[in-house]
A and B are shown apart, each in its own frame.
Chain A
Amino acid sequence: MRIEPNLVSRLLLSSRAKRGICSSPPSKKVTDSSSLTLLGMTVFVLRRSAQLIAVTLAVFALLGAGDESARVNDLGHRMMCVCGCNQILLECNHVGCAYSERMRSELIAAVDRGDNDDLTLQGFVQKYGTTVMAAPTKTGFNRVAWIMPYLVLVLGLAMVTLIVRAWRSRPLVLPAGAVAAVHGAELEHFRDQARKETEI
């Protein structure tokens, strides 16, 4: 996986710039009027709260910035290289591949811009077609792809349960006079059966 080394630092700078704009204190006249004290207190609390929220958001933004490479890694593994190699985008290893280099750059740029996952993937689908996605989406007919294996599992479980029930309720067929002592070929048959089931 090739990620621009300055990606994270640029994201950090961008976050800091946004924070700077949000937290620049507005000029304000201070009055000592007691009637305004309550209002002033309220404004003060609101302002502090806003600053706190802004700082919190900035902290989250900064924390998120550290995950950008993980996002690129995750999104790059959810897409295929479209050159026809049938490989995951970040695993395509063809030097000079006409697609993978460009697609990786576009992915990094999208993450750099702050596009969310859906927007980024949608952009790729629009540009390269639905085959760019490494797995079917969970919309429309594509949902069937995901549902079917689980449906088969559930139906299979139901079938096994029915079979088990049917087998358990089946009457045990006992030969007439089974309680009596058996001899000869019949005894040998039972011995064979016991041997098969235990192999002692």
Chain B
Amino acid sequence: MSQIGSFALLLGLALCAYSFLAGLLALVIKGPGSGRLGETGRRAGIASFAVVFLAAVVLVVAAFQNDFSIAYIFHHSNRDLPAPYKFATLWSGQEGSLLFWALLLSAYGLVLRLRYKTDVRLFAYASVIIAAVQVFFLLLLNFAANPFGVMQGSLPADGNGLNPLLQYPEMVIHPPMLYLGYVGFTVPFAFALAALIMRYPGEKWIQITRRWTMVTWGFLTCGVFLGAHWAYSVLGWGGYWGWDPVENASLMPWLTGTAFLHSVMMQEKRGMLKTWNMWLIFSTFMLSIFGTFLTRSGVVSSVHAFAQSSIGDWFVAFLAIIFATCLFFYVKNHSHLRTEHKLESLISRESSFLFNNLLLLVACFTVLWGTLFPVLSEWVQGTKVTVGPPFFNRVNVPVALLLLLLTAVGPLLAWRRTSVESLKRNFLWPAIGALGTGVLLVALGMRPWTDVSYFYSLMTIMLSVLVALTVISEFVRGGRVIGRHTGQNLFASMVQLAHRNTRRYGGYIVHFGVIVIMIGFAGSVFNQDKEQEMGFGDKMTIGPYTLVCQSYTQDDNPNYGSEWAVMNVFKGGKQIATLNPERRFYKASQQTSTMVANRSTPQEDLYVVYEGQNPETGKPIIKVHLNPLVMWIWIGVWIIIAGTVVALIPNAAPVRVPAPARMRAEPVGAGD
């Protein structure tokens, strides 16, 4: 098995190298045979997918066949590992996850190379750039982190097993989503660099890039929040985001990608920010690679310590090459990126995008800076410092609040220029609604002056209401106009409105999802927790809930042994649920893991952790968290996914409006 896998990887490297060189020569050398040479390069790129896929299949089959002669399988699997996790073995260790990177990259490359007729020359350049990235990953797989390395000495009877933290259903989908996001940014990067190298005329490349970025951004969003949900469900500390370096690594390209999705509209609509967009895409791709470097190199300490090694130097070199290449072609061809129009007014959609980009990049810089500061500090003053949640929250929460404000105001601004009267007219009722919400919350007992976290929480809710009302008013206003012309009801009119300009209204749905998530975050200020040793019949009260320990049970299966508590939950004297927090002991890896019991409602999560037994008293320790509004975070993610899908649907055919000499057109579904 290992020979087949190794051979497939070597063949993959040869094919990608050929795809790169042949494609490059075909583009550089203008001759009668260059077209055919380029075509062979494209086909070699397509074939690379088949061989990398074969290598991945071989590794998965080896996991299912318990082939412990392969070191990777020995270290990351065992005989009694359930089938879905054997499949997940592919990405649960370093070498496998690099193979998974290469597989997804070759899959993206396959799609791109099959769709080459869209724009033959642009796609040929992009294909060469993707082939170069493929070569890097296949070099790594062949010479630095080969997943098919064989065990030395006698063959072990069983493997070490998969890390218990990874034995959770979400780990079967979280890494693929995250990787689809990371790897996917290679495609917009390839198009952007291709357009710069060839001084691409027109804006078609940016439309192609935007769609790819949106798909990739959607995957990355899913990946980031699946990771948050996994941390919440498995790590058992009651939170979903700990500003761990590896979490930060996934957030950084998400922030720059978000900035690009906004600023790219200025290039499409107004021919502005061309240089900026180019570098945003370059930065997003480099941050994706940097994230992989952080995950793999062990340069910063992280709870994701299951994938550390010495391949960091490879990534540093690759990042340097990427940066040098981008800089070289930018210096050479920057005259091609001149802005076409002037900014006519400060109160305009253009300026709101500028500030939006500034805030997103400041947030990104803060995350990057905070992640790397321990390394810098050790280098400068010889002592390492910790940069944890207090730092990130203090700097990034105000930035996020400003972004929320811009999310509310931005859609009300028109391209070029907006009159103050128009802004007042559109902003008045949402602002009154937001202020009313603030007053109501204070009347209900929220005291923002007692603690800055309460202040932030109140502001988050108020600004979220502001955004929600502006989004709703945009839908209702446009829907009413369409309804007047077509006679449809308001809902049908709003659906038609969204279909006419899917990107704009899909974007609004995404904004709505974001504020739902923010409301979920705002609830964390009111978190409560309680820890207690609980024997049979012992009670614990937290908030409106009383938990009564009914019994403790043990179980055993080939993969793990487990202990769990049977806790009856009462509210208002009435039993409403039975929860079973669990603690598992995985036999192969000799490690423990918690399985949180969570009763989630829109109001709050009752999150119960069986922490184990007190070694002195032998009594089980139960920790209960009462986390308000957490469910809204996950609901918000679904709304974002829905909005992204809507934004990807092609627009309905544009409405042909006869143009009389002095027609007063109402701006329905105007702009983005």
Contacts and interface: CB of A to CB of B under 8 A. Distances in A.
Interface of A: 1-2, 77-78, 80, 84-88, 91-93, 95-96, 129-137, 140-142, 145-146, 148-150, 152-153, 156-157, 160, 163-164, 167-168, 170-172, 195-200
Given A86-B303, A95-B613, A200 B384 contact: no
Given A87-B237, A95-B611, A95-B621, A136 B355 contact: no
Given A145-B370, A152-B362, A167-B272, 6 more contacts: A2-B531, A93-B237, A167-B343, A168-B344, A196-B268, A200-B668
B358 A197 contact: no
Given A96-B615, A160-B355, A197 B416 contact: yes
A148 B206 CA distance: 33
Contacts of A168: 342-344, 346
Contact of B415 (A85, A137, A197): A197
Interface residues of B, number: 70
Contacts of B334: none
A46 to B, nearest CB: 37
B539 to A, nearest CB: 16
A149 B301 contact: no
Contacts of B343: 164, 167-168, 170
12 contacts: A85-B303, A86-B244, A87-B237, A91-B239, A129-B383, A130-B386, A136-B387, A164-B351, A164-B354, A168-B344, A199-B669, A199-B672
A96 B621 CA distance: 11
B268 A91 contact: no
B521 interface: no
B422 interface: no
Contacts of B385: 130-131, 133, 136-137, 142, 145
A131 B384 contact: yes
B236 A145 contact: no
Contacts of A142: 377, 385
Contacts of A78: 390
A68 to B, nearest CB: 17
Given A95-B611, A152-B362, A200-B670, A167 B383 contact: no
B525 to A, nearest CB: 13
B654 interface: yes
Interface string B102-141: 0000000000000000000000000000000000000000
B672 A149 contact: no
B365 interface: yes
B406 to A, nearest CB: 12
Interface in B333-362: 339, 342-344, 346, 351, 354-355, 358, 361-362
Nearest to B344: A168
Contacts of B613: 95
B433 to A, nearest CB: 28
Contacts of A133: 385-386
Given A198-B670, A200-B667, A200-B669, A88 B388 contact: yes
A115 to B, nearest CB: 20
B501 A199 contact: yes
B623 interface: yes
A14 to B, nearest CB: 26
B12 interface: no
Contacts of A172: 342
Interface in B369-393: 369-370, 373, 377, 380-381, 383-391
Contacts of B242: 86-88
Interface of B: 235-239, 242, 244, 268-270, 272, 301-303, 339, 342-344, 346, 351, 354-355, 358, 361-362, 365-366, 369-370, 373, 377, 380-381, 383-391, 394-395, 399, 415-416, 501, 504, 529, 531, 594, 609, 611-615, 621, 623, 654-655, 657, 665, 667-672
Contacts of B373: 136, 145
A195 B361 CA distance: 30
**CB-CB nearest 6 A-B residue pairs:** A95-B612, A167-B343, A134-B388, A135-B390, A135-B391, A170-B342
B358 A156 contact: yes
Contacts of B366: 149, 152
A95 B339 CA distance: 60
Contact of B269 (A84, A146, A148, A197): A197
A105 B501 CA distance: 60
Nearest to A167: B343
Nearest to A171: B342
A125 B419 CA distance: 56
Given A87-B237, A197-B415, A135 B358 contact: no
B386 A93 contact: no
B108 to A, nearest CB: 28
A103 B207 CA distance: 56
A49 B390 CA distance: 43
A135 B665 contact: no
A170 B339 CA distance: 10
Most buried by A among B389, B667, B670: B389
B396 to A, nearest CB: 8
B386 A80 contact: yes
A157 B235 CA distance: 39
Nearest to B358: A156
Contacts of A77: 390
B390 A93 contact: no
Contact of A200 (B394, B621, B665): B665
Nearest to B392: A135
A160 B311 CA distance: 39
Contacts of B668: 200
A92 B268 CA distance: 49
A136 B384 contact: no
B533 to A, nearest CB: 10
A83 to B, nearest CB: 12
Given A91-B238, A96-B612, A167-B343, A145 B362 contact: no
Most buried by B among A78, A172, A199: A199
A152 B367 CA distance: 13
Nearest to B373: A145
Given A95-B613, A140-B381, A170-B342, A86 B671 contact: no
Contact of A134 (B268, B270, B386, B623): B386
Contact of B670 (A129, A156, A199): A199
